[in-house]
Amino acid sequence: MATWVDCSEINLDLALPLSERYEPHRAVMRAAAEELLTAMKADFPSGLSRLAHLVDLRTFGHFRAEAKAQAKVMEIDWRDLMLAGAAYDLTLAYFGCSTIAAATDEGPVLARNMDWWPERELARHSYTVVGTREGRAETTVAGWPGAIGLVTGMSVNGFALAMNAVDEGTGLHKTGYPVMLHLRRVVEECNSFEEAVERVSKQTLAAPCLVTIVGTQNDERVCVERTPTTANLRYADGDAPLLTTNHFRYGEETSRDGVGTLQSTSCGRLQGMQELLPAEKQLLSDEQLLRILSNERVRLSITAQHILMRPRENRMRHCVPKSLLERN
């Protein structure tokens, strides 16, 4: 019996002005504001609210109009959305994630668990957010109402990406670009797999991260292992699965475990995926991959989403664990 439930879709007409784009989704956005955003704010360390203006300044106001448009529909302060857009950089300890970039007979697939907080509220308000223009899906994001950044997304231009947490112990790089907001721009602005890899690799970031990117060909699978100012590219070895959890793996001599509670499970989840995946390239169905992602060796208690992306088909499958939808 499946332990996951498929998410509903929010369709955003990109041809509409921002002032009108979110109005059709007022009900789901208000519900998310009342439950999800409230839970997120409660878990933020005290004193972070003043940083919303700094996030806005560091991104040169790029997301301000959208944050204000969404906040108006949600009936909240737009600065709360700016702060949520930098949640990863400010609270690394809350995040994990396990990611598979597999070669298949039908092109690469990017499959991942998003281990995120607050997991119950997030699962209940998870949607596949599709940005369309003239009926064509330009961007597809595993997101939630009010999100202006992203951690899992796909572009019609032939690539998909997923971010995993990693902590090198150096803290926030104050002049770097917030990670989730940078990845949002990559998905929206890049025209190819190669351009996406370059943009992820070169931007100075506010925090370290691991970004897996896949294209439409099986040899287009790479994990960009980022510190705020450096990047190492770890490509798939032939048709072998490219796996990422929460530690740097570039170069055997420099491979090291992450630190912190979530990262301490990193190697165990990595081994679990290695043993559950087929040894050779083959056709991998959605159900096969979802069973791997939901296996007790891979899934964490804070796994809020399971996502599958197939860029060749421009198709995303976005699910949440059934257990998180049950009311306490």
Residue 196: give its domain's CATH number. Answer: 3.60.60.10
For residues 249 and 178, state if they share a domain.
yes
Q: Residue 45 is part of which domain span?
A: 15-89
Q: What is the pLDDT of residue 264?
A: 55
For residues 74 and 125, state if they share a domain.
no
Give the residues of the chain that fall short of pLDDT 70.
Answer: 45-49, 92-94, 252-265, 328
Tell me which residue of 75, 63, 80, 78 sits closest to 27, measured CA to CA: 75
For residues 52 and 187, state if they share a domain.
no
For residues 98 and 143, state if they share a domain.
yes
For residues 115 and 19, state if they share a domain.
no
- Residue 52 and residue 82: Cα distance in Å, rounded? 6
Q: What is the pLDDT of residue 53?
A: 86
Domain for residue 2, yes or no? no
For residues 47 and 158, state if they share a domain.
no
- Residue 117 and residue 87: Cα distance in Å, rounded? 10
Whether pTM exceeds 0.85: yes
Domain for residue 7, yes or no? no
Total structural domains within the chain: 2
For residues 28 and 126, state if they share a domain.
no
Last residue of a domain, one of 36, 68, 89: 89
Domain for residue 1, yes or no? no
Q: What is the pLDDT of residue 262?
A: 43
pLDDT, tens digit (0-9, with 9 covering 90-100), for 199-218: 999 999 999 999 999 999 99
Domain for residue 5, yes or no? no
Distances (CA, A) of 313 to 215, 227, 289, 310: 11, 32, 17, 6
Enumerate helices (H) and strands (E) in the chain, giving the number of each.
Answer: 12, 14
Last residue of a domain, one of 89, 117, 152: 89
For residues 41 and 181, state if they share a domain.
no
For residues 71 and 177, state if they share a domain.
no
Helix (H) or strand (E) holding 52: helix 51-58
For residues 238 and 103, state if they share a domain.
yes
Tell me which residue of 229, 264, 224 sits closest to 244, measured CA to CA: 224
For residues 169 and 135, state if they share a domain.
yes
211, amino acid identity? V
- Residue 15 and residue 241: Cα distance in Å, rounded? 38
**How remote is the C-alpha of 63 from its chain's centroid?**
18
For residues 97 and 84, state if they share a domain.
no
Last residue of a domain, one of 51, 71, 89: 89
